[in-house]
Amino acid sequence: MCGKGHNKRPARAGSVYLLVVLGLLLVGGPPNIGARLARAGQGRKRQRDGQGAVSNGSWEHVDATLAGGEGVADGAVGASEEQGAGAGAGGFLLPPHHHTGGAHQPERCVVVLGTGRSGSTSLVDALNQMPHFFVRMEQEGAYWYLYLAWRLLEKAYTHSRDFVASVRSVEATAGKTAAAHLSYRAAKGIYEQFATRKKQPWFNDLHPVRMREAIRAFYAITYGYHGPGVVSGFKEVRFVRGRAFSSESSTYDDFEDFINFLRLLCTDMKVLLNSRASASLEDNYKLESMLARNGVLKTTSNETFLRDLQLTHEWYDRYAEAHPDHALRVIMEDMFDPEVNGTLVRRLISFMGEPPDAYPHVVFNRMPTWSDPEEEASRSSSSSSSSKAAKPKKPKPREPWQLRRSAERRAALRRRRRLLELELARVEVELIADEEREEDDEEGYEEELEEEEDGDWEGAGLFGGAGFGAGVV
């Protein structure tokens, strides 16, 4: 497989990676597919049978090479000292500086999780008032889908049992990080070993260590690309029960697993859990109105909304209490209470690893609120001017869960219409039957009346005739 035509050194990949599987960036490939693809140790003799199958090329050669430290590739120089011990193992492991794909690895970051209409925007702005902080706002819940992709990739790796079993010996010898970065020859060699024996529908080399590096590389390129001196991050209000987390089956363990995923984004991740003090409908009517206006609560009752919000508050409280080193609970009422917000600012700054009194100018109310008089006046004037020449609005793109709910609503509407049609048909049948019964009853009644009248006339004639005859006599 590695003829002379492959004995060249391709150009290194740039710092920008391809976005694979819902935004998952995979780290770049080996920089040298030349001498490292040559035979190591005793070499792998390629013998082809009549069907062209590769044989006599087993994974045991990798074990022997790693254990003995022998087998530098033919015609290749040995690995340098800075490449580490694993890099010189006969070209079966990539040097350590390729383990991160060359991308800058962010050191400090912060994620703000809010319930919505709870001051999360003002909280992010307070962080950004520190000169070396740059925390962004919402991103349509994109990192939830990245989390799902990461889980699927790790699940897919467990299905590749032959590769997993083969790599365990390398993990024991050179460590998991080195085993996650096998050279092209080593990874392809495992495939060739098993491909001639049985089908490999699940074969892959998606080592969990490398997938975690890919997650961190994705974050580094989206938010953490300004260097190690900048604390980056983002905020999101969709990572709550009833939205990202299902109302029917989500548990605290699901929430904790998602937070563990977020902590992979950088070396030192802080999580701020923001909400109002109460989970009552009275205190969160703005959130309920916003979700109803956006179509989120069209198929959800107030009881479900309140239960989801209450459980989200409980998740926040529980996680912050269990992990005070990297999680902090921030209540909106404390942010805007003059008696306690100064203390909260110092606590927040200290939690982020900064001197608590280094930034006295940090406040929570720098941004105008939605109810600011001047802003409301400008918004009302702009809306009135725009209403004069109203244009049809384009439909906004909807998220998958919105599409599902819309389809469910349409199906429910169709069911209701069908049931109504059946009910109307049933009522119509009953009305027709009642009318027929009434007609039958009327006909029977008329017949009875006619019979009675005929009997009366006959009796009256006989009696009258007899009396008349008697009078004449």
Interval 314-335: pLDDT, tens: 999 999 999 999 999 999 999 9
Average of pLDDT values for 249-277? 97
pLDDT at 247: 92
pLDDT at 384: 52
pLDDT at 296: 83
Handedness of CA 197, 198, 200, 205 (dihedral sign): negative
pLDDT tens for each residue of 335-393: 999 999 999 999 999 999 999 999 999 999 999 976 545 545 555 555 455 445 545 55
Distance (Å, whole) CA 174 – CA 315: 39
Of the pLDDT bands very low, low, confident and very high (cuts 50, 70, 90), residue 168 is very high
Look up residue 75 and give its amino acid. Answer: G
pLDDT at 98: 52
pLDDT tens for each residue of 11-58: 333 333 333 333 433 334 333 333 333 333 334 334 333 333 333 334
φ, ψ of residue 275 to 5 degrees: the values are -165, 175
Distance (Å, whole) CA 394 – CA 461: 90
Q: Which helix (H) or strand (E) holds 71?
A: none
Give yes or no for a contact between 92 and 30, defined as CB atoms under 8 angstroms apart. no
Is pLDDT of 159 > 60? yes
pLDDT at 195: 96
Distance (Å, whole) CA 247 – CA 404: 14
Number of C-beta neighbours around residue 359 at 10 A: 17
Distance (Å, whole) CA 449 – CA 452: 5
φ, ψ of residue 133 to 5 degrees: the values are -110, 135
Is pLDDT of 216 > 50? yes
Which one is predicted more confidently, 19 or 146? 146
Average of pLDDT values for 115-121? 96
Supply the pTM of this predicted model: 0.64
Distance (Å, whole) CA 35 – CA 310: 61
Q: What percent of the chain has pLDDT over 70?
A: 66
Which one is predicted more confidently, 293 or 232? 232
Domain 17-32+55-74+86-365 has CATH 3.40.50: yes
Instruction: Select from 33, 40, 39 the least CA-distant residue to 6.
Output: 33
Distance (Å, whole) CA 191 – CA 163: 8
Look up residue 237 and give its amino acid. Answer: V
The tokens describing 443, both together, are: 């006909």
Q: E-strand spans in 70-149? A: 108-114, 133-136
Is pLDDT of 470 > 50? no
* CA count, 13 A, side-chain hemisphere, 216: 24
Q: What percent of the chain has pLDDT over 90?
A: 51
pLDDT tens for each residue of 234-257: 999 999 999 999 999 999 999 999
Of the pLDDT bands very low, low, confident and very high (cuts 50, 70, 90), residue 167 is very high
Is pLDDT of 162 > 60? yes
Average of pLDDT values for 284-307? 85
Give yes or no for a contact between 279 and 304, defined as CB atoms under 8 angstroms apart. no
Q: What is the CA radius of gyration of the chain?
A: 38
pLDDT at 292: 85
Average of pLDDT values for 98-127? 86
* Cα three-residue angle 220-358-122, rounded to 5 degrees: 60
Average pLDDT, the chain: 77
Of the pLDDT bands very low, low, confident and very high (cuts 50, 70, 90), residue 447 is confident
Of the pLDDT bands very low, low, confident and very high (cuts 50, 70, 90), residue 462 is very low
